[in-house]
Structures are given as structure tokens and as C-alpha cells.
Structure 1
Amino acid sequence: MQFDYREFHINASPLDEGGRYYARAKIYRRASATGDSVEVKYSGDLGDYPSDADAIEAAQRWAMQWCDNNSG
């Protein structure tokens, strides 16, 4: 799932491995000069969950907290 939050763009797409879903997120910031998105943070695996919806929710929660702590 991709969405914008503050000045960031977040991709919270889980990894499906054998019926378990691993929460992970990539956070991008738009470069002001070019308008291109630049990756600023990759979460790595944030834990495994029984459904993709649970994994997406965990990744979104982590990403929004990271953005709140690192927005300028």
C-alpha cells in the first residue's frame, strides 16, 4: 500500500512468505529541486503477521511514527 504522509511518500508493502506476512516499509522524500522521490529510510522486517492487512497496518504505524519523529 502506498500513501503520502506529511512531506513523505510511504510504501508499506508486506512480504508474503509461506502464509506469513512480514511488515516492511520504505519512506521517500521528494527532492525539492527535481521533484524526484529519494528514499530516506527502509524499515527492514518489522515482524511477521497472519494476514497482509495486519502487516500493512504495522508497517503504516511504524512509518508514520518515523515521519513524525523526522519531519522538518
Structure 2
Amino acid sequence: MHFDYQQFHIDASPLDEGGRYYARAKIYRRASASGDAVEVKYSGDLGDYPSDVDAMEAAQRWAIQWCDENSA
């Protein structure tokens, strides 16, 4: 799942691995001059979940919290 939050673009797509879903997120910021997205943070695995929806929600929560703490 991709979405925008504050000045960030977030990819909260879970990894499907053998019936378990791993929450992970990549956070990008748009470079003001070029408009290209620049990755600023990768979560790594945030835990495994029984469904892709659960994993995506966990990744979204983590990303939003990170953005709130690191927006400037």
C-alpha cells in the first residue's frame, strides 16, 4: 500500500513469506529541486502477522509515528 503523509510518501507493502506476512515500510521524501522521491528510512521487518491486512496496518502505524517524530 502506498500513501502520502505530511511531506512523505510511504510504501507499507508487506512481504508474503510462506503464509506469514512481514510488516515493513519505506519512507520517501520528495527532493524539492528535482521532484524525485528520495528514500529516508527503511523499517526492516516489524514482525510477522497472519494476514496481509494486519501486516500493512502495523507498517502504517510505524511509518506514521516515524514521520510525526522526524518531520521538520
Query: How high is the TM-score relative to the length of structure 1?
Result: 0.99
| Runs of 4+ with deviation above 6 angstroms | none
Give the whole-Å Cα distance in 1 for the aligned partners of 2:33 and 2:71. 18
Matched with 2:52 is 52
Matched with 1:24 is 24
Give the whole-Å Cα distance in 2 for the aligned partners of 1:36 and 1:47. 30
Give the whole-Å Cα distance in 1 for the aligned partners of 2:30 and 2:69. 17
Aligned residues: 72
Query: How high is the TM-score relative to the length of structure 2?
Result: 0.99
Match for 1:4: what amino acid? D
Which stretches in structure 1 are left out of the alignment for 5+ residues? none
Which stretches in structure 2 are left out of the alignment for 5+ residues? none
Matched, 1:4 2:13: no
User: Cα deviations across residues 22-58 of structure 1 (Å, max 9, x unaligned)?
Assistant: 0000000000010100000000000000000000000
Percent identical: 85
